[in-house]
């Protein structure tokens, strides 16, 4: 049916778009406090970017991407996440030539063919930050601090921060061998996906949500016990910095995240009142991604927050502010023959940066007053034949009920003066 949107999508209607604007305003405020600047990348990219950047063994690449061939025979994918696109832009636009680290944030739609459920859609929206060009754990701590600060400012205080280290190309092969040894006699009992992961990326078995795989992975070796000296020192530094900032955390050795480009720090923030879908933020370090995308070896770290999930949490906890649909002035022409002069008055009011509207469907005066009350409007400017002849407007204060006949030349001034009272 043409009257039904595609499954997994939804319209953001005027009665809720104000909540989105509220969350986005807090995002921009926090990012400005942390000195992060906005970047806007295309909604679609060359498919190869995500194959190389996200990893061909991930669920996103194997099952969830919206990929098509365009009219120029190019293989194109709607972005399923934005880190790879930001890295591509960083390289293409030579952002590395500026002061480092490059600190960026984005807000926008992503696309994944996933099973729709509460707070999860096939077109969904993410806010994310990326810090590229800094090696030490201090930038990791800043990234995590930014995420916690944002969620706290929105009123979400019952947060659980989970952290882990997923190692690097030096120590991860050691861990890979230990994992394969652990799962060798269990692999036939795992789900089909994890049987495939055993050879390609056994660490991903720990990220599987299948109950059988969770059961058989109990007692698996921990990456933190296999870290090389560099990764171990980095993880220790991160813990010290988070503690210094008063940010509580839990070390979760099973936290590996779902993307292949993560190295060293991986983290997730959960909001317990959401229940089974409690994860509201996830991120980590990706020191190999820039090189994988064709750049010089460059460290990076970032996170993404699902805006739908955050809005769901705010709604459940009754933390969304009341929406303000009020206007300052409603212009009421008494007859269609006065519509042009009413529109002229409306234009003068709006040019003074005053919120205003008028009647466009020739309502009666009674109906116009009722409509003005629905906004509600603070003032109604009435214009009838008598007022037109006198070059005046009847200005009614809808809060007090008082009204005054004033010269048109003084209308804007009187409205501003009345708004300040």
pTM, whole model, 2 decimals? Answer: 0.89
DSSP E strand boundaries for 259-386: 263-271, 279-285, 300-306, 327-333, 356-358, 377-383
Flag whether pLDDT at 186 surpasses 90.
no
Instruction: Note the pLDDT of residue 145.
Output: 98
Q: Where does the pLDDT of residue 398 fall: very low under 50, low under 70, confident under 90, or very high at 90 and above?
A: very high
The DSSP code for 205 is G
Instruction: Note the pLDDT of residue 262.
Output: 78
Rounded CA-CA distance 128/141 in Å is 15
**Mean pLDDT computed over 393-417:** 95
Residue ranges of alpha helices (H) inside 82-171 are: 83-92, 137-153
Compare 244 and 257 and report the one with higher pLDDT. Answer: 244
pLDDT tens figures, 128-156:
999 999 999 999 999 999 999 999 999 99
**Closest among 261, 336, 341, 253 to 301, alpha carbons compared:** 261
Instruction: Note the pLDDT of residue 421.
Output: 75
Q: Where does the pLDDT of residue 63 fall: very low under 50, low under 70, confident under 90, or very high at 90 and above?
A: confident
Compare 253 and 24 and report the one with higher pLDDT. Answer: 24
Instruction: Note the pLDDT of residue 274.
Output: 82
Residue ranges of alpha helices (H) inside 93-190 are: 137-153, 172-183
**Closest among 299, 292, 282, 286 to 49, alpha carbons compared:** 292
Concatenate the DSSP letters of all residues of 32-49 into one string. Answer: HHTT-EE----SEEEHHH
Residues whose CB falls within 8 Å of the CB of residue 188, separated by 6 or more in sequence, listed in order: 195
Flag whether pLDDT at 157 surpasses 70.
yes
Quickly count: other Cβ atoms within 10 Å of residue 44's Cβ: 17
Flag whether pLDDT at 171 surpasses 80.
yes
Instruction: Note the pLDDT of residue 68.
Output: 93
Where do the domains of the chain lie?
14-171+227-316, 327-420
Compare 243 and 260 and report the one with higher pLDDT. Answer: 243
pLDDT tens figures, 4-37:
889 999 999 999 999 999 999 999 999 999 999 9
Lowest model confidence (mean pLDDT) among 267-271, 275-279, 332-336, 360-364 = 275-279
Rounded CA-CA distance 221/176 in Å is 10
Q: Where does the pLDDT of residue 206 fall: very low under 50, low under 70, confident under 90, or very high at 90 and above?
A: confident
Flag whether pLDDT at 72 surpasses 70.
yes
For CA atoms 34, 38, 39, 43, the dihedral sign is positive
Instruction: Note the pLDDT of residue 55.
Output: 67
Instruction: Note the pLDDT of residue 203.
Output: 86
**Strand duo 263-271 + 250-251: pairing:** unpaired
Instruction: Note the pLDDT of residue 115.
Output: 82
SS3 218: coil
**Mean pLDDT computed over 352-381:** 96
Cα three-residue angle 291-297-298, rounded to 5 degrees: 100
**Mean pLDDT computed over 371-391:** 95
- C-alpha distances in Å from residue 132, one per residue of 90, 100, 177, 219, 263: 9, 7, 31, 35, 14
**Mean pLDDT computed over 345-368:** 96
Q: Please state which architecture CATH assigns to domain 327-420.
A: 3-Layer(aba) Sandwich (3.40)
**Mean pLDDT computed over 101-124:** 90
Lowest model confidence (mean pLDDT) among 208-212, 280-284, 315-319 = 208-212
pLDDT tens figures, 302-320:
999 999 999 999 998 999 9
Range 14-171+227-316 classified under CATH 3.30.530.20: no
pLDDT tens figures, 221-243:
998 899 999 999 999 999 999 99
């Amino acid at each position: 049916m043409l009257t039904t949107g595609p499954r997994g999508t939804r319209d953001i209607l005027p009665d809720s778009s104000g909540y989105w604007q509220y969350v986005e305003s807090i995002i921009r405020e926090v990012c400005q406090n942390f000195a992060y600047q906005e970047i806007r990348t295309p909604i679609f990219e060359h498919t190869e970017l995500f194959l190389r950047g996200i990893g061909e063994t991930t669920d996103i690449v194997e099952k969830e991407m919206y990929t098509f061939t365009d009219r120029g025979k190019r293989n194109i994918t709607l972005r399923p996440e934005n880190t790879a696109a930001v890295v591509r832009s960083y390289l293409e636009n030579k952002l590395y030539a500026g002061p480092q680290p490059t600190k960026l944030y984005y807000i926008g739609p992503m696309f994944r063919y996933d099973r729709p459920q509460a707070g999860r859609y096939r077109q969904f929206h993410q806010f994310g930050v990326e810090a590229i060009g800094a090696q030490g754990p201090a930038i990791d701590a800043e990234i995590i601090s930014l995420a916690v600060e944002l969620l706290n400012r929105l009123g979400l205080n019952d947060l659980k921060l989970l952290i882990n280290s997923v190692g690097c190309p030096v120590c991860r092969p050691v861990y890979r061998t230990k994992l394969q040894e652990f799962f060798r006699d269990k692999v036939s009992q795992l789900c089909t996906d994890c049987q495939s992961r055993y050879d390609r990326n056994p660490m991903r078995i720990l990220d599987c949500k299948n109950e059988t795989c969770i059961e058989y992975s109990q007692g698996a070796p921990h990456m933190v016990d296999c870290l090389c000296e560099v990764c171990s020192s980095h993880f220790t530094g991160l813990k010290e910095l988070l503690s210094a900032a008063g940010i509580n955390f839990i070390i979760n050795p099973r936290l590996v995240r779902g993307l292949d480009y993560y190295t060293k720090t991986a983290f997730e923030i959960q909001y317990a009142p959401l229940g089974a879908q409690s994860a509201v933020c996830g991120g980590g370090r990706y020191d190999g991604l820039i090189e994988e995308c064709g750049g010089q070896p460059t460290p990076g770290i970032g996170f993404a927050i699902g805006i739908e999930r955050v809005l769901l949490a705010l709604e459940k906890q009754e933390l969304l502010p009341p929406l303000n649909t009020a206007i300052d002035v409603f212009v009421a022409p008494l007859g269609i023959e006065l519509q042009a002069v009413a529109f002229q008055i409306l234009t003068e009011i709006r040019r003074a940066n005053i919120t205003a509207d008028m009647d466009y469907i020739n309502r009666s005066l009674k109906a116009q007053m009722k409509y003005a009350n629905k906004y509600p409007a603070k003032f109604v400017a009435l214009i009838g034949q008598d007022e037109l002849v006198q070059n005046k407007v009847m200005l009614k204060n809808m809060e007090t009920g008082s009204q005054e006949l004033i010269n048109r030349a003084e209308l804007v001034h009187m409205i501003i003066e009345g708004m300040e009272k």
